Amino acid sequence: MDAIVKKLTPEAGRPSRAEAEDAVRTLLRWAGEDITREGLLDTPKRVAKAYAELFSGYHISVEDALGTTFEEVGGYNDIVLVRDIPFFSHCEHHMLPVIGKAHVAYLPAGRVLGLSKIARVVDIFARRLQTQETMTAQIAEAIDTNLMPRGVAVMVDAEHMCMAMRGIQKSGSTTLTTTFTGEFKDNAAEQVRFMTMVRSR
């Protein structure tokens, strides 16, 4: 799997908060700004604090986030779908925002997840630098590995600011990615059912 995440500790070379703030000052000066003007005096601190939140996915364990599963499902074994999960991410190529929605489904094999756990998994991977394709695959793999259902389906639909704000400058265009495992991968009818449920209102 691409984008394997290794935690960086201070001993392993992770920069300090002060070093991060100095890096922001360097970027501001490179952009042509006067870092001594009033409006920018606290910007390095604000940016470092914002980055700690925006990239918090590096410091959260997927296994811990998925947590407890439930076996008392009353015999239910059909699709569990959580759709329209909003997320904000950043692309690894330009570090510009990616804004979209994820739709995540699985076919239980005797156990189910708390519904909020699925949204949490989306957030964990969204709050890391990567491509949309990688994020889509990581969400599916995390649920597949930790829950071991009969199959997982993930669809991500997002707008990339690196296309809207710079380069080709095509705002409003979105990118759609999907990943299927197990029965969703092997059975075209299950894929169609997933797509139909996602798009039906």
Is 91 annotated among the ligand-binding residues? yes
Task: Give the three-state DSSP class for 179.
Answer: strand
Respond yes or no: is residue 92 known to be catalytic: yes
Respond yes or no: is residue 59 known to be catalytic: no
Respond yes or no: is residue 94 known to be catalytic: yes
| Catalytic entry in 91, 130, 183, 190 | 91
Question: Do 107 and 191 contact (CB within 8 A), yes or no?
Answer: no
Is 59 annotated among the ligand-binding residues? no
Respond yes or no: is residue 190 known to be catalytic: no
Strand 80-91, strand 129-130: pairing: parallel
Respond yes or no: is residue 132 known to be catalytic: yes
Question: Do 35 and 25 contact (CB within 8 A), yes or no?
Answer: yes
| Catalytic entry in 132, 138, 183, 190 | 132
| Catalytic entry in 94, 133, 141, 191 | 94
Question: Do 138 and 104 contact (CB within 8 A), yes or no?
Answer: no
| Catalytic entry in 19, 59, 63, 93 | 93
Respond yes or no: is residue 160 known to be catalytic: yes
Respond yes or no: is residue 91 known to be catalytic: yes
**Cα(199)–Cα(201) distance, rounded to whole angstroms?**
7
Q: Which residues are annotated as a binding site?
A: 91, 94, 162
> Which residues are part of the catalytic machinery?
91-94, 132, 160, 162
Q: Which residues are annotated as a binding site for Zn(2+)?
A: 91, 94, 162
